[in-house]
């Protein structure tokens, strides 16, 4: 929605909660209650005939269940209504072809969360430079880490306000994700230059102007040694675990520590991605990336019994490295950040970009001598340079030639870019 030169924007702000032991117990009770309510609702849906699967009947069933089952009463009524709305929205997404059909939520594979749909119930205040306070229904007043400014106090009005929140648990504890609505000025077109980006494993981001963005290991040597020790301990304890036997508390504790270290590495990787994509969005007006089909790139090379695959272990290691770099998340971050700064994100077709010479434009076999070096085999050229930067320049060249895929509403649609003189990208 837009109002003149202003545009309404909705986004999230996630912060870490500092729960007291008593508050943590209450939140730990609400999350399983929300999951159980979802499962009961799904069982009710499968049991009822089609003509009785209505929102009114489901609401009546939920109200009756919260009266009959004391365990569900710890969940606030508005959070229960949010579960109902989310469940019906999941079926609508399924019918529209946007998602698979909803199913039961398992105990261990489900992210524990509790929705707070009403923003007026939160009463968010800032009490310190680093801390804020928020009201959580049936929990009380809780501190949270203040990392981003929120529209509270005098800054809050009908157009700039917190519309709700969600409590989410991960391996590092409980967090609160605020839903924020603001009215901002429409960004002016970004005057920055165009740039092509090549994503990789050895060099995470290589730009067509010669810039590279690299990172080190996400865990320190001590943390990696601890993670290896915990994984070996978990494997040893699991070896003595009989099939069908209940998992011991020691093994669960080991799994929790492993998940904590992996979550810490993921948080550091996400922080690097946010800082890097923000700098790119502020610097460049048009960002061109490859239209990669990552799901096809990370398929297993195991093959079949009749035709077994080759180099299966090496391909599995490459797949893990691709997953660790999270190329899709990088493109997602670039998409909304370039739009916020008035820029444009464009996707160019990937085939052939690694074998084409960005200096003369010829594609000759064997030009990429190694993972890092490109040497043109054209006798009239002979150009050599970094293979990643060469591919990034080829990606930019495809955009300048008018071959581009511009993401729109989360999907890529073909759009012809403005044709310019077809010179080689340098």
Instruction: Find where tokens 């989360």 sit.
Output: 410
Pairwise pLDDT comparison (282 vs 308), residue with the higher score = 282
Give the separation between CA 96 and CA 89, rounded to whole angstroms: 10
Contact 195, 396 (CB under 8 A): yes
Question: Mean pLDDT over residues 319-340, rounded?
Answer: 86
Half-sphere CA count of 245, side-chain side, radius 13 A: 11
Residue 254 burial (10 A CB sphere; 0-12, 13-18, 19+): buried
Give the separation between CA 80 and CA 70, rounded to whole angstroms: 14
- The string of pLDDT tens digits covering residues 70-127 is 888 899 999 999 999 999 999 999 999 888 999 999 887 788 999 999 888 899 999 9
When mean pLDDT is compared across 76-80, 85-89, 140-144, 293-297, the lowest value belongs to: 293-297
Pairwise pLDDT comparison (319 vs 169), residue with the higher score = 169
Give the separation between CA 24 and CA 53, rounded to whole angstroms: 36
- Residue 327 is predicted with a pLDDT of 85
Q: Which of 57-61, 239-243, 298-302, 352-356 has the highest mean pLDDT?
A: 57-61
CB atoms within 10 A of CB 352: 11
- The string of pLDDT tens digits covering residues 381-425 is 877 778 888 888 888 888 888 776 666 433 333 333 333 343 444
Is the pTM for the entire model greater than 0.85? no
- The string of pLDDT tens digits covering residues 157-203 is 888 889 999 999 988 889 999 999 988 888 888 888 989 888 888 88
Query: How is the chain split among helix, strand and coil, in percent rounded to 5?
Result: 40, 25, 35
Nearest C-alpha neighbor of 353 from the set 390, 407, 312, 404:
390
- Residue 164 is predicted with a pLDDT of 92
Give the separation between CA 140 and CA 299, rounded to whole angstroms: 48
Q: Mean pLDDT across the chain, nearest whole number?
A: 84
- Residue 307 is predicted with a pLDDT of 67
Does 64 have pLDDT greater than 50?
yes
Give the separation between CA 82 and CA 88, rounded to whole angstroms: 10
Backbone torsion region of residue 11, taken as left when φ is above 0, otherwise alpha when ψ lies between -120 and 50, otherwise beta? beta
Contact 165, 79 (CB under 8 A): no
Does 29 have pLDDT greater than 80?
yes
Nearest C-alpha neighbor of 35 from the set 75, 95, 89, 91:
75
pLDDT above 70 covers a percentage of the chain that reads 91
Give the separation between CA 382 and CA 47, rounded to whole angstroms: 71
Pairing of strands 286-291, 194-199: parallel
- Residue 418 is predicted with a pLDDT of 39
What does the DSSP assignment read for 240-271?
TPPTTPPPPHHHHHHHHHHHHHHHHHHHHHHH
- Residue 366 is predicted with a pLDDT of 67
What CA dihedral angle connects 199, 203, 206 and 210, to 10 degrees?
-170
Name the strand (E) or helix (H) holding 36: helix 21-47
Q: Residue 377 to residues 77, 289, 350, 362: CA-CA distances in angstroms?
A: 70, 26, 21, 9
Instruction: Give the start-to-end residue ranges of the domains of the chain.
Output: 2-185, 194-216+265-414
């Amino acid at each position: 929605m837009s109002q003149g030169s202003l545009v309404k924007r909705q986004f999230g702000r996630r912060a870490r909660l500092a729960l007291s032991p008593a508050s943590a117990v209450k939140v730990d009770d609400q999350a399983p209650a929300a999951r159980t309510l979802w499962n009961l609702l799904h069982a009710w849906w499968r049991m009822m005939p089609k003509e009785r699967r209505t929102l009114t009947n489901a609401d009546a069933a939920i109200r009756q269940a919260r009266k009959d089952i004391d365990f569900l009463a710890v969940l606030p009524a508005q959070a229960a209504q949010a579960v109902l709305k989310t469940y019906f929205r999941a079926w609508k997404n399924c019918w529209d072809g946007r998602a698979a059909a909803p199913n039961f939520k398992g105990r261990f594979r489900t992210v524990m969360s509790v929705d707070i749909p009403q923003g007026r119930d939160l009463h968010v205040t800032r009490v310190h430079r680093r801390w804020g306070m928020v009201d959580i229904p049936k929990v009380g007043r809780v501190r949270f880490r203040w990392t981003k400014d929120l529209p509270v106090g005098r800054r809050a009005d009908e157009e700039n306000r917190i519309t709700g929140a969600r409590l989410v648990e991960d391996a590092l504890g409980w967090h609160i994700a605020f839903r924020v609505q603001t009215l901002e000025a429409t960004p002016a077109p970004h005057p920055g230059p165009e740039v092509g980006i090549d994503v990789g494993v050895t060099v995470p981001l290589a730009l067509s102007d010669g810039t590279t963005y690299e990172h080190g290991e996400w865990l320190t040597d001590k943390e990696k040694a601890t993670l290896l020790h915990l994984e070996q301990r978990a494997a040893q304890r699991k070896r003595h675990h009989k099939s069908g036997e209940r998992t011991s508390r020691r093994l669960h504790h080991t799994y929790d520590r492993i998940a904590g270290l992996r979550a810490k590495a993921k948080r550091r990787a996400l922080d690097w991605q946010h800082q890097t994509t923000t700098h790119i969005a502020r610097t460049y007006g048009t960002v061109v990336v490859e239209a990669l089909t990552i799901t096809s790139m990370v398929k297993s090379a195991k093959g079949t019994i009749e035709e077994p695959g080759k180099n299966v272990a090496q391909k599995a290691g490459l797949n893990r490295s691709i997953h660790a770099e999270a190329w899709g998340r990088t493109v997602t971050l670039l998409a909304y950040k370039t739009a916020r700064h008035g820029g444009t994100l464009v996707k160019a077709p990937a085939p052939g970009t690694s074998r084409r010479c960005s200096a003369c434009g010829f594609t000759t076999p064997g030009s990429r001598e190694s993972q890092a070096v490109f040497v043109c085999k054209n006798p009239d050229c002979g150009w050599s340079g970094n293979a990643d930067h060469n591919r990034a320049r080829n990606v930019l060249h495809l955009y300048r030639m008018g071959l581009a895929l511009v993401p729109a509403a989360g999907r890529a649609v073909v759009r012809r870019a403005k044709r310019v003189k077809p010179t080689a990208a340098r």
